[in-house]
Amino acid sequence: MTSVHDLPEAAAAALTELRSRTPLVQCLTNEVTTNLVANAVLAVGASPAMAAVPGEAEQLAGVASAVLVNLGTPGPDQRGCTEPTVAVAQSAGVPWVLDPVAVGVLSVRTELAERLLAYRPAVVRGNASEIRALAGLVSSGRGVDAADEVDAARDAAATVAARTGGVVAVSGPVDLVTDGETEVRLAVGDVLLTSITGAGCALGGLVAAFAAVSDPLTAAVAASVAMGLAAERAAADARGPASFQVGLLDELYQLSGQDLADRVVQSVAGVHA
């Protein structure tokens, strides 16, 4: 696992490696946000495959470089192929990312997410309410929106990280990323991220892309900072949510390794180890 002090250099190296290797990222994701997720993954240099058909999904997981599972719209096909897909990924040593959308609020996805934790995702990325629910705590989520503060999920994040052996990233005004021992706070982003559908889903895709070429802590930090920095730059010229979303993809595409390293240094608001 990368040390906190090495994160800026590691994040920059991960972005360079992404664009050099163009890893295949399989996305079992939210039907509402498929386009944004795919384009965000493309913008940082990976190759998305939006395959969630039973029978095919498992085949792809064995040859993909990383897998994203987003529970935003868990229809019959996705419910039928998710567990077999992550089982193949785990067996093949392919890192996979869990985005537990609205877990703790809606029963079908909550039960599915609890089962999926046994397959040890490399990274779990969600809002504070979702992470609290995964840890078995009472949460105050409202649909896909969090009603809990990031700090309210601090212990829950450590609990989930200990259970999976991976990293948990809690999104909020200041993101929290932890492996259960080391905790990193990231102050980066813009409020316009909350005005478009799919920003969190796209972030999950970015985490998976970075996980294809780096360790889970680096992947979670690099993805969070990449999304946040792109959002800050896009917001500077945006007239509203529509132009912001277009600008967000452009800014992700324009990011350099040095941009990412510099903003990681600036973003780290606190470290606990």
pTM for this prediction: 0.94
Binned at pLDDT 50, 70 and 90, residue 155 comes out as: very high
Spatial CB neighbours of 189, under 8 Å, sequence gap ≥ 6: 173, 175, 227, 228, 231, 232
> β-strand 24-28 against 66-70: which pairing, if any?
parallel
Instruction: Answer yes or no: is pLDDT of 57 > 90.
Output: yes
| Mean pLDDT (the chain, rounded) | 92
Using CB atoms within 10 Å of the CB of residue 108, give its burial: 0 to 12 exposed, 13 to 18 middle, 19+ buried: exposed
Instruction: Answer yes or no: is pLDDT of 16 > 60.
Output: yes
Domain ranges of the chain: 4-272
What pLDDT is recorded for position 141? 52
Binned at pLDDT 50, 70 and 90, residue 179 comes out as: very high
Contact 174, 168 (CB under 8 A): no
CATH no., domain 4-272: 3.40.1190.20
